[in-house]
């Protein structure tokens, strides 16, 4: 019998939000040059897809790494409710100073979910559109959060 | 190293019920998945093989061979089956996505003729999947 493989549970969620990419550290001209259309002062929106992956032992009684009802409630309370149908830089305090690029959205979501009590958060992946996706995984170095 | 992934889809039914728990506890823990008549999913299975391309054929593994292995080991066992009753390895287990993915891993591990089994990803629905790997990926990534 082969060794038990390392197992992850993956779950996807969706939220819709607007953002504007604008850095207070850059001039108006530089902002326009760096962010292009994404610097439009009135903002614009995306249908985001959030993918989270958790590891942990598979409970013998339930066959689960974590109960989906617990996971869904946690992600909904900490990410979907505060982000869905919001303007990220205006309504999510973490993005008042930090530019709400999807790189930074990934890192912020990771910080919000890493305390989940029933399993270990391994990675957060966010699709900003069907063509752009970003991933932030546990143990990565070089980030301002680590 | 090159990673080759083949996808197959199968449809199956299951239910979650642990005889060690009371009827009430089963309903509380498993919710709708505890419906005694079962329910079904269209499963999507991605199998990833890691290896170096053969210098002559340019292939990590002949996809035809992988297709045959998946047909024999997985599709014939699970497609259009009631997993709890018709797959013997799952009879004393709850056939969650995690446990079905682990069974698929054990059915494939050691049977891949070239390259090595790198990852099994089983989607129970587009929004729920389980991954099995030999060991955690470096830094938790893919």
Using CB atoms, which residue from B96, B110, B135 is nearest to A6? Answer: B135
Q: Given CB atoms, is B33 within the 8 Å cutoff of chain A?
A: no
B123 pLDDT higher than 90? yes
> A2 and B110 in contact by Cβ < 8 A?
yes
Contact state of B16 with A63 under an 8 Å Cβ cutoff:
yes
Query: Hey, which residues of B are catalytic here?
Result: 33, 80, 124
- The predicted model gives A55-81 an average pLDDT of 97
Nearest chain A Cα distance for residue B92, angstroms: 10
Instruction: Tell how far CA A145 is from the center of its chain.
Output: 14
Q: What integer best gives the mean pLDDT of chain B?
A: 95
Q: Quick one: average pLDDT of A2-15?
A: 93
Q: Is a pLDDT exceeding 50 seen at residue B119? A: yes
pLDDT surpassing 70 at residue A146? no
Which position among A38, A51, A91, A118 bears the catalytic label? A38
Read off the pLDDT of each residue in A19-44 and give the average, rounded to a whole number: 95
Q: Is the pLDDT of residue A143 over 90?
A: no
pLDDT digits 0-9 by tens, B76-117: 999 999 999 999 999 999 999 999 999 999 999 999 999 999
pLDDT in tens, A87-131: 999 999 999 999 999 999 999 999 999 999 999 999 999 999 999
pLDDT in the model for residue A2? 56
pLDDT over 90 percentage in chain B: 94
d(CA A107, CA A135): 9
CA-to-CA distance for A134 and A123, rounded, in angstroms?
A: 10
Residue A26 burial (CB < 10 Å; 0-12/13-18/19+)? middle
Instruction: Compute the average pLDDT of residues A14-28.
Output: 96
Question: pLDDT tens for residues B27-44?
Answer: 999 999 999 999 999 999
**Which SS3 state, helix, strand or coil, does residue A82 take?**
helix
Share of chain B above pLDDT 70, in %: 96
Place of tokens 């259009």: B80
Instruction: Mutate one of A1, A3, A8, A65 to test the B interface: name it (highest B CB count within 10 A).
Output: A8
Cα separation values, B65 from B5, B54, B79, B141, Å: 13, 15, 19, 28
């Amino acid at each position: 019998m082969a060794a038990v493989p390392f197992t992850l549970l993956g779950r996807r969620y969706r939220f819709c939000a607007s953002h504007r990419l604008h850095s207070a550290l850059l001039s108006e001209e530089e902002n326009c040059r760096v962010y292009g259309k994404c610097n439009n002062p009135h903002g614009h929106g995306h249908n985001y897809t959030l993918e989270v992956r958790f590891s942990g032992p598979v409970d013998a009684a339930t066959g689960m790494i974590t109960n989906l009802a617990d996971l869904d409630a946690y992600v909904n309370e900490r990410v979907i409710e505060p982000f869905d149908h919001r303007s990220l830089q205006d309504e999510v305090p973490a993005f008042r100073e930090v530019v709400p690029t999807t790189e930074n959205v990934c890192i912020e979501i990771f910080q919000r979910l890493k305390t989940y009590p029933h399993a270990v958060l391994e990675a957060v992946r966010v699709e900003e559109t069907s063509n752009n996706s970003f991933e932030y995984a546990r143990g990565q170095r070089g980030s301002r959060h680590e | 190293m090159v990673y080759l992934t083949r996808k197959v889809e199968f449809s199956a039914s299951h239910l979650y019920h642990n005889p060690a728990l009371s009827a009430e506890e089963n309903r509380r823990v498993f919710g709708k998945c505890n419906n005694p008549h079962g329910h079904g999913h269209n499963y999507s299975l991605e199998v990833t093989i890691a290896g170096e391309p053969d210098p002559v054929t340019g292939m990590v593994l002949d996809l035809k061979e992988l297709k045959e292995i998946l047909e024999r080991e997985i599709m014939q066992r699970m497609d259009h089956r009631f997993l709890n009753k018709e797959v013997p390895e799952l009879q004393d287990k709850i056939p969650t996505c995690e446990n079905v993915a682990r069974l698929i891993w054990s059915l494939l591990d050691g049977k891949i003729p070239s390259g090595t089994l790198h990852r099994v990803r089983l989607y129970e629905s587009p929004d729920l999947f389980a991954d099995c790997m030999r060991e955690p990926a470096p830094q938790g990534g893919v």
